[in-house]
Structure 1
Amino acid sequence: MPRPLPILGLNHLALAVRDTKTSTAFYRDVLGFREVERPPFDFPGAWLVGYGIQIHILETEYAYEGGDQPNSRADHYAFAMADTSELIEILNEHGIPFIQRVNAGNIHQTFFQDPDGHSIEVAVYPADPPFLD
């Protein structure tokens, strides 16, 4: 059996984007992260924090090229919530299209995209999901 590492948790997501201001506004105004001071790197970007994690926005000409709809079977990241009704209100207010479904594990999922096409999932899990350690 492999020996587990003493990993404390997920520290940050690093996202390649085309426009720092647009992406920062999305993660701040739609998902509720707040911008914090970032070290003086020699490339544009922003750091945001919230919910115990960080998002590092990295502006680059090699930004992610997502499709025209969220893809749950490709690269994506997921947040857990107890209820998504407020999220749905915010997505509608900002005109952000989304897809909702309930999968076989009774997980209620909402998928949408950020301005660069990164697919985002927000999931409501059963009270005691047997598959989470």
Structure 2
Amino acid sequence: MEFQKDEYHPLPLLSLNHISLVCKSLPLSLQFYEKVMGFECVQRPVPNFKDAWLYNYGFGIHLLQSEGWDTDLFEKHEINPKDNHISFQCSDINLIEKRLRDMGIDYVKQVVEEEGLCIDQLFFHDPDGYMMGICNCENFPIVPSDEASAVPQLCPLKSADLTKTIFPLFCHGEDIEASERNGQFSEQAQEKKEMLPLDIMGVFI
């Protein structure tokens, strides 16, 4: 089907709610998205099959246990930055790269240069081969392609209130130390010190 311009009105959407991923091992995928990506398990809306819901960075992830018929989904392949992926924005790309190395996660690094802007990107797979991307796109201008006179806007995450995420205390090592000094979340902070989640801010699709 071809869509002619001005023929249809866009759907009246509000925001990204969640993405769904079929996984080979629900426990293994849960561990990855909690301990590596910094998501938190939340209550399941309809707990009638093997699944899990996680939330952070303004959207949710719905993990679905594979029923065995979709084994082709889990074939291992090379990390290709041009493949389908979910991209997250970060505040320190070098810290992300260090943590990926410390965790023993294979990744591919790519640098994109355009009109004087330099954007660093890291790509890696989750346990089922779904690709994750991390970028420092906060200074990347967002300009509608069909409006030549439009004023460039910076990525909205540049001014985002990061305290709205579920793991505000666990995004930076110094925040964990501060929480311990203040006597807040000390037990949780101690559990997270050995394996911090990646220092990411939000989704950038």
In the alignment, which residue of structure 1 is the partner of 2:103?
A: 94
Which of these residues, 58, 74, 79, is aligned with residue 52 of structure 1? 58
In the alignment, which residue of structure 2 is the partner of 1:6?
A: 12
Query: What is the RMSD computed on CA atoms of the aligned residues?
Result: 2.0
The answer on 1:116 being equivalent to 2:124 is no
- Find the residue that maps to 1:70 and give its secondary structure: coil
Name the count of aligned residue pairs.
132
Give the residue type in structure 2 aligned to 1:41. Answer: N
Whole-Å separation in 2 of the counterparts to 1:27 and 1:83: 19
In the alignment, which residue of structure 2 is the partner of 1:73?
A: 82
Whole-Å separation in 1 of the counterparts to 2:99 and 2:140: 28
Which has a greater percent of helix?
2
The alpha-carbon deviation at position 13 of structure 1 amounts to: 1.1
In the alignment, which residue of structure 2 is the partner of 1:40?
A: 47
Which has a greater percent of strand?
1
Whole-Å separation in 2 of the counterparts to 1:125 and 1:99: 17
Whole-Å separation in 1 of the counterparts to 2:54 and 2:107: 23
In the alignment, is the contact (CA less than 8 A) between 1:109 and 1:124 conserved in 2?
Answer: yes
Long gaps (5+) in structure 2:
1-5, 145-152, 154-205
Identical columns (%): 32
In the alignment, which residue of structure 2 is the partner of 1:103?
A: 112
Whole-Å separation in 2 of the counterparts to 1:66 and 1:11: 28
TM-score (norm. length: structure 1): 0.86
Point out the more displaced range, 44-53 or 77-86. 77-86
Whole-Å separation in 2 of the counterparts to 1:122 and 1:83: 10
Whole-Å separation in 2 of the counterparts to 1:114 and 1:66: 12
Say which one has the larger Rg: 2
In the alignment, is the contact (CA less than 8 A) between 2:89 and 2:138 conserved in 1?
Answer: no
- Find the residue that maps to 1:86 and give its secondary structure: helix
Whole-Å separation in 2 of the counterparts to 1:19 and 1:56: 13
The alpha-carbon deviation at position 77 of structure 1 amounts to: 1.4
